[in-house]
Every structure is written in structure tokens, then in C-alpha cells.
Amino acid sequence: MNSQDVLFAFGLTLFAGLSTGVGSLIALFSRKTNNRFLAGALGFSAGVMIYVSFIEIFAKSRSILSEELGNREGYIYATLAFFGGIALIAIIDKLVPSFENPHEPKSLEELTPESAEEAKRRKLLRMGLFSALAIGIHNFPEGMATFIAALNDPALGISIAVAIAIHNIPEGIAVSVPIYFATGSRKKAFFYSFLSGLAEPVGAAVGYLILAPYISPVVFGLLFAAVAGIMVFISLDQLMPTAEKYGEHHIAVYGLVAGMALMAVSLLLFA
């Protein structure tokens, strides 16, 4: 791999991570959450990630590993790596307390304090700061996933980066709203939201520095399967429940199908 490929993959990861800032801006300059749009967008993101994980990423992982290890062994290792990715992100999710977990669905209205009492301000500030920390923890493996996908297949990397960027928008809301109402400062709210998104490119950089000396077809195959597992878990555990929370059931499902259809068309065009 050359330096241009690495820089391109890193740039996509940076774009995906910093979309938390978009969520922050929406939260700080909107009075109400556009629930229907957000539900559809989150469903769309889940559709892209689920479809590409099963149809493209896992299939590519199995193909690479089968070529290197044989059909049976390649399939076994791809399957183990897939569920290993699910286990990794599930453990990370479990370690984040539910109160501060940014993947517990919230709307702008729910995060608005009823009064400006000092105790509530402290509680809101704590909630916002812990949400920023929690998002950083979650975004670390997501950054590695986007980076590895883009490094192996730039077109695939773009699709995944856009899907994760959409996924990160409500996370920006989860950080910025409580910090804004606790401090009264839009700058602080945006700063912490922006900072939490930096965990994604940091995850990519750390992952690359650790794995670069060991990159081989087998390692790539295992990482690809793990990435597929991570994205499927994110879609089923975070995106779809959040989409359901923000809007009607059918809007979320229509978004899911639209995401799958668009991903299918894009893969056919580049086949």
C-alpha cells in the first residue's frame, strides 16, 4: 500500500468522525428535532452498513482467507472473526454506563432542562462530558473499521464513511445539548462534540501503527470479517432502535430498505 492510499483512508475516517460536529450544530441552532428525517436517515445508514457487511465485506473476507488457508479453514476463520468483531463492540458498549451512553436514544426536547437550578446544571454537564467520553470509546473501533475498509477498497470505504457519518450526527446532539444547557456556551458545546469525533481518526491512526508491520492477506481477511461484525452490531443495536425512537416504525424500515437498495446499485455500478 502506498502513502496516498493511507492518506485517503485516513481522510475518510476523519470525515466520518467529525460529523458529530454536524449533529452539534443541528442541536444548537434548531428548536426541535426533525424526527421523521432523522429516523429515515438512521434507517438508511443501517441499511447501507448491513447490506455491505454481508454482501461485500464478509464475502471478500471469506474469499481472501479461503485463497490463503483453503475453503473450509477460510470460512471458519472468517466466521470466527465476524463474531469476534461483534463481541468486541458489544463489550465496549457494555462497559459504558447506560445513563451516559450516547446510543441510548434522546431527542432535543428530552435533553432540555426544566429549570436552571445549579444541581441540574452540574448533572447536565456531567452527562454531556461522559457522553463525549463514551462516544470516543465507541468511535475508536468504528474509525479502524472505516480505515481498513477504505484501505482495501476506496469505493467501499466511501460508502461506509457516509453511513457512519450519518450515524454520528445524533451522537453530536447527545453531547452538545446537555453541555450547552449546563454552561450556556455554544462554543463549549460544539468543542466537546467536535473533540469526541476525533476518536475515530485516532482509532484509525493507532490501528494502522499497530497493525502495519503485520499486514498480510490473512490479517486483512480477518480484519475485514471483524469490521463486518462491528457494523452489523452497530446497525442492529444502535441505529435501528434509535431510528425507531425518533420516528415511526415504517419510516425507519423504509430508510433501511432504501439504504440497502442504494448500496446494491452502487456495488453493481462498480462491479
- Domain contains 54: yes
Q: What is the spatial distance between Cα 73 and Cα 62, in angstroms, rounded to a whole number? A: 10
Cβ-contact 207, 142 below 8 angstroms: no
Give residue-wise pLDDT tens across range 167-208. Answer: 787 778 777 877 887 787 888 888 888 888 888 888 888 877
The range of the structural domain enclosing residue 44 comes to: 3-28+35-263
Q: What total number of domains does the chain contain?
A: 1
Distance, first Cα to last Cα, the chain: 22
Give residue-wise pLDDT tens across range 27-39. Answer: 777 656 567 777 8
Element (H, E) at 135: helix 118-152
- Domain contains 270: no
- Domain contains 89: yes
Cβ-contact 220, 9 below 8 angstroms: no
User: pTM for the full model?
Assistant: 0.67
Report which of 74, 30, 35, 16 is spatially closest to residue 248, judged by C-alpha positions.
Answer: 35
- Domain contains 117: yes
Give residue-wise pLDDT tens across range 66-103. Answer: 999 999 999 999 999 999 999 988 887 777 655 445 45
